[in-house]
Amino acid sequence: MKQFFKFAFASCLGVFIAILALIMVFGVSATSFASKFNKTAKAKPNSVLRIELNSQIPERTNNVENESFSLEPKDVWGVHDISYAIEQASDDSSIKGILLDMSMLQAGSVTRSEIRESIEKFKESGKFVHAYAKNYSQGAYHLASAADKIFVNPLGGIDFKGYAANIMFYKNMLEKLGIKMQIYYAGDFKGATEPYRLEQLSAKNKQQIREYINDLYNEFIDDIAASRNVAPKELKRIADQYLIRQPADAVSYGLADKVAYFDEVIAAMKAEIGLDDDDKLNVFGLSDYVKGHKRKSDFKVKDRIAVVYAEGTILEGKTNLGSIGDDKYTKLIRKIRNDDKVKALVIRVNSGGGSALASENIWRELELVKKQGIPVIASMGDVAASGGYYIAAAADTIVAESNTITGSIGVFSMIPNVGKLFNEKLGITFDTVLTGNLSAGLYENIFMEHNPLQKEILETSTKTMYNIFLQRVSDGRDMTVDEVHEVAQGRVWSGEKAINNGLVDVLGDLEDAIALAAEAADMDDYNIKEYPIVKDPTQQMIDKLTGQDSDSDKISGMIKSEASELYPYYKELKQLKKMKGVQARMPYILDVY
């Protein structure tokens, strides 16, 4: 009888918890649904728009891998929605200024440049922009330097030291573990596999990294020089000697305007608006402002330009948000191609590449779009390299920013041999019976050294894929294969250099690419339709609770929330695990800061 009551109680408790979970789901869902019909909050007169950029900034709003669980899910605003909202604020009489708060900014060079440009346009309206952070990273300071006034916390500072590229090498660790990476690559500059076969950068890889980070650094310096009225040579001297060691140093050398606490920043903004000390400063958050200032479509206009955001690693099959699965994107582009309302397509690429096969499949769909007479324009974000460049090569015109990282036209194959790890370290041995020399497979057998025939086949397939890559670029860029090979070989370029060697047509942003698409399609009036369609955070949370999000990775969520600085390395290992076949990607984590 005791057991009966025990199981009965457990069953009732389980049902109760399930019902409670459903109530929470539907409660949150109903709240979210109802909120869609509420009027968006409007800024009160004499308001300051507070822009807190303390999380990842994707290209497309909410197009990020989000493994965390929260009863109050928040939107992750995309860079283009943020920029548009800032520009709208310049004409909003209720908004008198902007406060930039970027203590934890996570944004690449192009993303920062776009937001900087929006801030510069906002300043043309005569309104003020103040920046404040407890500590400014170099990226945060780059964006903050566009402000009229920069405030530094008395115990904070500005990290201003020049750019460095740090790469982690795993070769010695793998050898100690008994793991040997069997690597095949095409392209003298294809440094993607170096962390697994070398202990330091090769001379050619170091050369190319030095060149493109110098290009990015010079643009960073030029932007700050123009905003702060400090000569580029002086800024480099300050960085080289690390002269900003205390908050007051930033003021002395002209990089900041005042050492101040946050309450003093509030007082300064009140003074700008003309408020008294006792008056309340109305502060309006970025999230609410973006929600109320999205681009609106004119439904009388039927013609469309499709803007497809391709951001993240290119992978085969179905993938989570923030990555480019060929199944998802080929289906998506096919749908666009068959939509009579779509007159032009812009592919916005922010990717270091991935699977060569997946890149080829997406390239093919873009080629079919062109064959149907629909112009295709590629727009490059922070990175459009390797597989990212592969898909961009299909475009009629390629548009990049001067500080875009692009090129890396090269491929590799990498298969681990963990036989020694299992044999000598764990005491596990393997034997096999084959019906042929390759019955164990090319990529599947990770317990044995490749035999001469396997090596020959993998070397040949890697070189063949490289030649196909060259041909795709040759066809798309109207260059000979030899001309492409001259600037390829896995070499990485800045957008500024890529426009000179034929890999890019014009420098510009996404808006420029859309304008070129409209011109190519001979359109004056059109609506913009953005893809992929991304569910809002509330719906994503409901999918997790109801099990519809089958790809959810709880470990990812834990690492991302508890050890965010380690998350990129964990994500990298996850993606390496999924690697199959020839890769067109930059797999190592290149920290440029």
Judge residue 403's burial from the number of C-beta atoms within 10 Å of its C-beta, 0-12 exposed, 13-18 middle, 19 or more buried: buried
Q: Tell the residue number behind the tokens 């009160």, with chain if given.
A: 44
Q: Determine contact, residues 384/310, Cβ cutoff 8 Å.
A: no
Q: Among 298, 408, 290, which residue's Cα sits nearest to residue 349? A: 408
Q: What three-state secondary structure class fits 182?
A: strand
Strand segments (E) across 312-372: 314-315, 324-325, 342-351, 353-355
Q: Tell the residue number behind the tokens 């530094």, with chain if given.
A: 152
Q: 290: which residues sit within 8 A by CB, 6+ positions away?
A: 75, 77, 81, 82, 85
Distance in angstroms (rounded) separating the CA atoms of residues 247 and 255: 10
Q: Which residues of 192-222 are buried (b: 16+ CB within 10 A; e: fewer)?
A: bbbbbbeeebeebbeebbeebbebbbbbbbe
Q: Among 56, 51, 43, which residue's Cα sits nearest to residue 133? A: 51
Distance in angstroms (rounded) separating the CA atoms of residues 150 and 257: 5
Query: Does residue 494 carry a catalytic annotation?
Result: no
Distance in angstroms (rounded) separating the CA atoms of residues 188 and 495: 21
Judge residue 186's burial from the number of C-beta atoms within 10 Å of its C-beta, 0-12 exposed, 13-18 middle, 19 or more buried: buried
Q: 424: which residues sit within 8 A by CB, 6+ positions away?
A: 178
Distance in angstroms (rounded) separating the CA atoms of residues 503 and 491: 12
Q: 493: which residues sit within 8 A by CB, 6+ positions away?
A: 212, 405, 406, 407, 487, 501, 503
Distance in angstroms (rounded) separating the CA atoms of residues 9 and 15: 10
Which listed residue (149, 180, 190, 270) is catalytic? 190
Q: Determine contact, residues 182/445, Cβ cutoff 8 Å.
A: no
Which listed residue (113, 386, 408, 474) is catalytic? 386
Query: Does residue 386 carry a catalytic annotation?
Result: yes
Strand segments (E) across 408-484: 411-417
CA distances from 24 to 16, 194, 439, 547, 552 (A): 12, 49, 53, 15, 19
Backbone dihedral region of 467: left (phi > 0), alpha (psi from -120 to 50 degrees) or beta?
alpha
Q: 470: which residues sit within 8 A by CB, 6+ positions away?
A: 409, 481, 484, 485, 488
CA distances from 577 to 239, 345, 414, 416, 570 (A): 40, 33, 11, 10, 11
What ranges in 168-305 are assigned the alpha helix state H?
171-177, 194-197, 203-228, 232-240, 247-252, 262-273, 286-292
Where in the sequence numbering do the catalytic residues fall?
A: 190, 386
